[in-house]
A and B are shown apart, each in its own frame.
Chain A
Amino acid sequence: MFADTYYLFAKYMRITWRMPMWTLFGLAQPLIWLIIFSDLFSGMAKLQGWPTTSYANFFLPGVMVMTVLFGSAWAGVSLLREINLGAIDKMMVTPIHRGAVLLSRVTHAAATVILQCLVLIGVAYVMGLDLNGSPLKIGAGLVAVWTLGIGFAALSNGIAIVIRREEPLVIVGNFMTLPLMFFSSAMMPVIYMPEWIQVLAVVNPINYAVEAARTMLVGSGDWVVFGKGFGIVLAFTIATFTWANMTFMKSRK
């Protein structure tokens, strides 16, 4: 299974590598947000009880998670294209491990997002943000973001298989990403939220990914906080992938 996933993953990465323009375009957006929002909301860091020294510092993990959401929520569109082109049939007729088809797709979708996140960290360093010095902790933060990316790409693939058309998939993607963003601590610490949003944030997997990434990248680097957040994100990702793969196999009966 892992060999099959690796070869397909390598194929998708190679294709992405040949069209770096798209990855760069995808990168421009979070960079703009990071720069504009950091400046726009810079005054908020003066609020009582604000967890970090500057808003930019607080927002960095948030913008990474935003990149993940916007980047992987469309992963299903290319699955539909591959189904229509017959590329999926071509894989399924080989003795390939059945799970490798989706697994390679979602890990690839998340990996392109991680490339963008690496650039974000570089820019953050140049901007003079207060990053954690330990590469291990930065790496752990990225793993949490990557795992969330896999979960959302799987969700997008699963929905794509259920609705079978690109246009409604785009609508569902839009409908999903923005509210999930705002119902998390990506832009605003939980303590400043109205109560009903605080309740929603508790069941929002994105919130945990942001918390896990924040503590590792710009926070105290507390492994307990990270472990709790990452564990929940991992459970979410395993659940969405399992559902997507079951839907996929059922659609091929």
Chain B
Amino acid sequence: MIRVEGLVKTYGASKKRSVDNLSFEVAGGEVFAFLGPNGAGKSTTAKVLTTLLAPSAGRVTVAGFDVVRQSRQVRECIGYVAQHTGIDHFMTGRENLMLIGHLYRLRGAHLERRVDEMLAYFGLTEVADQMCASYSGGMQRKLDIATALLHNPKVLFLDEPTLGLDAQSRIDLWNYVRRLNTDLGVTVFLTTHYLDEADKLAHRVGIIAGGVLQCVGTPGELKDMLKGDSIALTFEAGVAERARPLLRSAPFAKEVLDEEDGLRIYVDNGGETIAELISLLAGHGIKVKSVTLARPTLDDVFIKFTGKSMDKVEEKVKPWWAQWAGDNWEQVEAENSWSGNKWVNADGSAKDQQAFDAWTQAEGGGDAAWAGNEWVNADGTPKDAAAFKAWAEGEADKQSERVSGEAPAAPEASADSKEEAMSEAKQGGSAGQWGGGGGWQGNEWVNADGTPKDAEAMKKWLEESAAGKKAE
């Protein structure tokens, strides 16, 4: 349905490549998502595909028509919903639909019937004759999609369809997109920077960063490329360098990636490995600041291909005055921006390392002040390795029980609740830190020593929260 070959789009005199050598195909009846951070080239691609922008190089066909030479035919068989809703606030919903219908060359009774159908389909019949200014964000977005569907398009383009919507409206909109695809057979091309949106809606996902397509596949395929769970570790400054070779040579680690304040390790079974991992590091006197265990998400895929987490790649948006500063705006901004404080320069380097060290020593004895957390002593040795391992394994068992007991949607949900359980354990950890180690009495679920207070109740709670997620 969509075929893109070697698409390049440059902007302005600088010939900066917003999209570089893009090639992919979307089959008829598919929901295809373009996932990437802001400024990655998603909207540019959508605009080229919808004939709003002309490609600088490459060949693009939609429904068999060339977007440059047969732009009119392309326009007749596509619908496009832009990031900003293009509906007119001073007209009613019905008037907006009638206008766009006229522009699609629909006339008379046929147009009126289509308008009524669309209003009913999106549940807007009651407000059809109210001014759009009184519509909620979700209603405006639905009306916007309705205008794009009046002429029964073969392909629907959605550019960041849920940007700025509240959680309920998002889920509502997702359901509509799914129904459009299954009931009406519309091919959907959507761009998003929400990982869950791509994960839950799309049959296939293309990950784009810096104008380059990094990979394409089903969400499952992309996650399987990572093979297993990921464990994110954070350390105090400089410690990661010591931990890295150790983890690289560890038998359980499939891959070790650098992150901004720590390391990310890919393993087969996160629950079992985590205890092993901690004791390995502790055995070498390496202190861990925090541990997070996660089933692979599309963000992990993104990290794998770009080396960075998605929210850290957001492209710098030009300030409004950039047009007067010309190409020097970054420099101008740097000159006017924060120039560092007493200890640190603007670039993050220490002004005077010795003075800084002396100050931290004087303030709190530096690192030595830390008394360790629930699991790990200040020197990095585990407080009670056996208890920790038992708890982690029990947790993993519980998960697998539930996985086997529940229907296909369960693995995802259970992974989520597992994360929740982990983060709760982590909260417990920090409470212990502040409570001076012994003072913490545990939380609702876990005792201070890490054993579950009421295994049955906890299991029930986990299942409830998983069921809640499933119901969504």
Contacts and interface: CB of A to CB of B under 8 A. Distances in A.
Contacts of B85: 85-86
B76 A95 contact: yes
A11 B89 CA distance: 12
B86 A11 contact: no
Q: Is the interface of B mostly helix, strand, loop or mixed?
A: loop
A203 interface: no
Interface in A177-227: none
A87 interface: yes
Contacts of B103: 4, 7-8, 91, 94-96
A88 B86 CA distance: 7
A19 B323 CA distance: 35
Interface of A is mostly: helix
B303 interface: no
Contacts of B87: 87, 90
B390 interface: no
Interface in B303-335: 323
Interface residues of A, number: 25
Interface string A1-34: 0011001100100110011000000000000000
B90 interface: yes
Interface string B54-73: 10000000000000000010
A90 B100 contact: yes
Contacts of B253: none
A88 B52 CA distance: 10
B88 A11 contact: yes
B76 A92 contact: no
Contact of A15 (B90, B102, B323): B90
Nearest to B85: A86
Contact of A84 (B75, B84, B99): B84
Given A15-B90, A89-B86, A95 B105 contact: yes
B34 interface: no
Given A14-B95, A85-B84, A93 B78 contact: yes
Nearest to B75: A95
Interface of A: 3-4, 7-8, 11, 14-15, 18-19, 84-96, 165, 252-253
14 contacts: A4-B103, A11-B88, A19-B90, A85-B85, A86-B86, A87-B87, A91-B86, A93-B51, A93-B75, A95-B75, A95-B76, A95-B104, A95-B105, A252-B53
Given A14-B95, A93-B80, 20 more contacts: A7-B102, A8-B103, A11-B95, A11-B99, A18-B90, A19-B90, A85-B86, A87-B88, A88-B86, A89-B52, A89-B86, A90-B100, A90-B147, A91-B86, A93-B51, A93-B52, A94-B75, A94-B104, A95-B75, A96-B103
